[in-house]
Structures are given as C-alpha cells and as structure tokens.
Amino acid sequence: MGTSAAAVTEPTDATGPVEPDTDTPPRAEESGGRRWVIVVAVVLGFLAHAAWRIWLTQSVTTPIAHADEDRYLLSARAIAGGPGGLGNDTAAFRRMGYPLILSPIYNFTQDPFKVYDAAQIIGAVLNAICFPLAYLFGRRVLEAKRWVAFGLAFVAAALPAVAYYSEFTLTDVLFAPIGLAWLLLIHGWLAGRTTRSRAAAALGAGAVVGYAYTVHVRGLVMLGVFVGVVVVIILMQRLRWKVAAAALVTAFAVTRVDTFVQSLTADSVLRGGVEPGGRFVERLTDASKLVQTLCDAVGQYWYATVATYGLAGVGFVVAWARWRGVDPVKSPFAQRVTLATALVTVVLISFSSAMALPPDGRVSNHVYFRYIAFLMPVFVMLAGTALIGADGRRARRLIWHTTLLVGVTGFLVLARMSGREYFERFDTPEVSFLTYTFSHLAVAQVTVISMVLLCVFAALVGKARSRNIALALVGVLALNVAAMEVTNLKTIRPMSRFQYATAPLLKQDLKIGPADKIATSQWVSLGARLNHQREVYWEGITEFDHRAGELPPADATVVIGPWRSRNKDDWNGQALGWVQVVYDPNHEWALWLRPGDPRLSGGISKGNGS
C-alpha cells in the first residue's frame, strides 16, 4: 500500500486541547541522501506542466466561454482604470479575486487579443502549480513513497478535469492549486511538528479559503466547510481556540478584498441574469424539484468517476471509509480530517451548483462536474495509493463499491435525461473523448469503458512492481494527453474559429477608433456584443433596445444591430439614414456608418464576412 498505518491518539486530557499527530516518525527513505534529485524532478515536472498548458492554449485564440471569460477580462480592465462592460452576472455570484490578478496586464497592452494571450499564459502557469502541490499532498497527507507520490501527482495534475480549463480565462484555472493548498494547510495545522508551524498553517488555511471566496462563489461553500471543520475539531479538543479564532478572522478579513475591489469598479461592469435566491427557495421547498436537484448533484459523482477512468470513484469510497474509521488502512487523525473536508466540500458544492444552474435545457446540467473538478487530483491520488500493492480481495472490494456507485448514479442520470434537451460538447470533454461521441451523452457506453480501464489499472498496480506501476501511470497520462488533443481538435478549435470566421475586427478591419461613438442593440447575440466590448478598449459601448422603439444616441457614429436574425428582429438602419458596411452571418449582426463617413470611400476591410 502507498500509505503507512499510524495509530490515532485520542485526547485524554479533558481540561485542554491535545495537539494531534506530532509524533509520527520520519520515513526511513527521507533520511537518505540525494534528496535533491526529487526536488529537481518536481521543478522540472512543474515546468513541463506549465509548458504543456501554454502549448494547449494555442487552440483558443479568443474567448469562447461567453460570458464568463469576457466578464473577467472586462472586470480586470475596469480595475486597471479602463472601461468596463457587460458582466452578465448577478450580484450573488460576482467575484473580483481573479480579475484582480489579470488587471496588471492592461498596464502593458490594451490590445484585446494580446491581453487574452497574456491571461492564458498566467492561467497556465498558475494552474501548473497544482503539480508540486499534489506531490506534497501525496507525501504529507497520503504518506506515499517519494516516486509513487511524484508519479501519481504528475498524472493527477494532467487530468482533463484540471488541465482543460487552463486553456481559458476562467476561475477554474485557480481552483486546483487553491483546493490543494487549502487541504495541505489544514493537514499541516493538525499534523505540524511545532507550535509555530501549526499556527502558520492555520493562518495560511484561513487566507487561502478567504481568497477562494473572492474568486468564485464555490469559495463561499469552502469557507462554510472550513468554519464547520474548525468548530467540530475545537469541540473535540483537538485545536487551541486562539489559533482557530485567528484562522477564522484571517479568512473573513481576506474575503473583504472582494468588497473593496468591487467598490473600485462601481457600476462600470453591468450585471445581468436573474438572482438565484428565488430558484434556491423553489428547489428546496418543492419536493419534486428537490429530488431532481439531488439527482443532478449525484450525477456529478457519476461524471467524476467516469471522467477519471474510475479512479475518483475509488477515491470517494476510500475517503468515506477512512472518515468513518472502517478502512483496513488505519489513517492518522489529520489525514482523516483532510479527506473528510475534501469529501464534504465535493458534496456541498455539487448540491449547491445543482440548485444554482438555470433550467436552460442542457443535458449536461444533470452531470455538471465543472465546479467539483478541482478536487479530483485528491481522490485520484487517494485511489492510486489504495490500489498500489492492494491484495486481490481489497482491490475487488474497491472496484465493486465503485461499480455500485457509478451504477446507481448513472441510473439516476439516465432517469433525468430528456430527448428534448440539447447537448453542449464543451461541458463533457472526457465523456466525448472516451466514447468518441460528440453529439450526445453516451452514459452507458462510457460507464462500461471507465470501469474496464479501472480494472486494468488495478490489475497492473496490484503487485506493486515498479515496472507495472510505471506502465499504469504512463497509460493514464497518455489518456489524459490524448483527451486534451482530441477535445481541442473536435470541440475547442472549431468553437474558437467560429468567433471571427465571418466577422471583421472593429479596429483593425473597419478602422473604428477613439473618435467614434459606438452604439449596439441589446438584441445582438451575446457573444458578438461581448467580443465588441473587448475590442473597443478606449470607452464603453452604449446599448439601446430597438425592440422597444429606442434609437441609437444622436452622437453615435457607429451602430451595430441584428441583421438577418433568426429572431426576425433586424435593425434596419437604412430607414434612419445609415449605411450598412458589413454583415456577420455567424453572429447575425450588421455594422452601420453615417452617410459621408470617409471610411465608406475605401480603406477598410470587411473581414471574412465580405
């Protein structure tokens, strides 16, 4: 097994807290020389992960995940002192922790495409930090041997669950390192060898979870879990209350960064959508909707299992067993708390996200794994340590329990699916890759494939031979790399090309500049409006509602409106004396200039839509 057993010392002094897990003997292998070899290997591994992620970003040349990517870029621009735009988010979900990281880019360039490239590189490098953190998690929390921890961490950090979102300007690029750092610090708080190290870990855990709150609303769930964990352990007399209080104060202090940054941008980033409060109440108080929400939550566990070739499912099973103290491997208190924290976080985020997702008709909403994906390295590595060296009986039991988990949750997914729902391949890259199906969600097929892959992995690593372990890990790594390549080829590159396949660039092609006053109908497609708002970096774009009879501002020099729209709501500028210059059939909009504009005489390009 990859983990060493350690007796759990229960508190015996009822008058004061007992500091747990501080007497764990050092591993024999750590006393050997050449420790620098693993340090160099981890550094090189981090560089390899960063380089691979940067290379993957070549498939995405412009935002495609509207409006999330645009919101963070426009918010970063507003923080840097530039114009904002349409955030299209609600007050409950708005967070500024990620845009704050991106905002310095605007001190070097305003070009929206260069800004996007820089944001992708920053995200790729930050996301790659999950590899060294995963290695530390394997060593300190799971107590795996050096090279086993290295191999498991390298593979886990390359999972599409982690690497896929590093291609985009999404908060997901931060959450894998945030989640791992948070859990490591919680473990260090409980298992540190000195009072000073435990206090530092406590404050660090508070700061990290506070920052998670400023990045995305799932950080609010993490903060709630953190408070709960601290309270429970204090009641168990396992922590000193002063340090615990300092950790909580640190967490709440860091959350105020978001409030401060939002005050800087004021109303420059406009909100949109419907606040989720009413939807939450309805789904909690209506019995049928509550059952549907619970089904959609557990559907995420099905997706997590099949998307990781069965390994995350094994990790769920082992984490649950160790939390309850019924696993054959007797784990230290600090490990049990850390794994329980990860498991509870997954459960609460999956349930809250199932409540929050709007009923927009996507079949992927029943398995929307994205918000718990950041913790999958934890469960995949836990599965690896449990299966490596496991005897046949234990391996069969783990596979059986995982099969039961994926079977029940998969059945609920099938029960929730409807033929009227549409398939969005962007949401399910792992399933599409494993089944090579890009038109529908192949639930039964991918379930069988993932369980077969799990059995092969377990058979290879069961005897704990170095060659077999290496072969199994290389096989999983190859699947990860292939999944990313196939996903980019079949899904991401076509989506990226579509954005400007028939559209001109406003500044480069149409010579729109700071002297122009630009107005757009709010009924232009959302993706096109957001593309234009990023392109026009010198001032905001005025919106008007032509369906309600509103006209563009009198001082407007450029107007963009729907044209040949599937909604039959074209804005015909000719009737108002405007001259149409270009039409984008992909996004169904046209751009109009005033008569006599010198650009009508030539010197402009109509882009690929001409």
| pLDDT computed for residue 2 by the predictor | 40
| Biggest CA pair distance of the chain | 89
Q: How far is C-alpha 372 from the geometric centre of its chain's CA atoms?
A: 8
Rounded Cα distance, 167 and 431, in Å: 18
> Which tokens in the block code for residue 154?
């390298």
Taking residues 495-521, report their average pLDDT.
95
Helix, strand or coil, per DSSP, at residue 475:
helix
Confidence of residue 8 (pLDDT cuts 50, 70, 90): very low
Taking residues 481-489, report their average pLDDT.
98
The domains of the chain are located at 36-171+268-493, 518-609
Taking residues 250-255, report their average pLDDT.
98
Element (H, E) at 559: strand 558-562
**Among 486, 542, 547, 482, CA closest to 517:** 542
Taking residues 419-437, report their average pLDDT.
95
CATH 3.40.190 matches 518-609: yes
Rounded Cα distance, 346 and 225, in Å: 10
Q: How far is C-alpha 375 from the geometric centre of its chain's CA atoms?
A: 10
CB count in 10 Å sphere of residue 492: 22
Question: pTM of the predicted model, to two decimals?
Answer: 0.92
Over residues 112-124, the pLDDT tens digits come to: 999 999 999 999 9
H helix intervals, 137-286: 146-157, 160-163, 172-191, 195-215, 218-235, 241-265, 277-285
Rounded Cα distance, 175 and 61, in Å: 23
> Which tokens in the block code for residue 416?
């929730």
In sequence order, the 6+-apart residues with CB closer than 8 A to the CB of 342 are 179, 183, 319, 375, 378, 379
> Which tokens in the block code for residue 519?
């107005």
Taking residues 577-590, report their average pLDDT.
96
Looking at the DSSP bridge assignments, the partners of residue 578 are: none
Over residues 44-83, the pLDDT tens digits come to: 999 999 999 999 999 999 999 998 999 999 999 999 999 9
| pLDDT computed for residue 608 by the predictor | 57
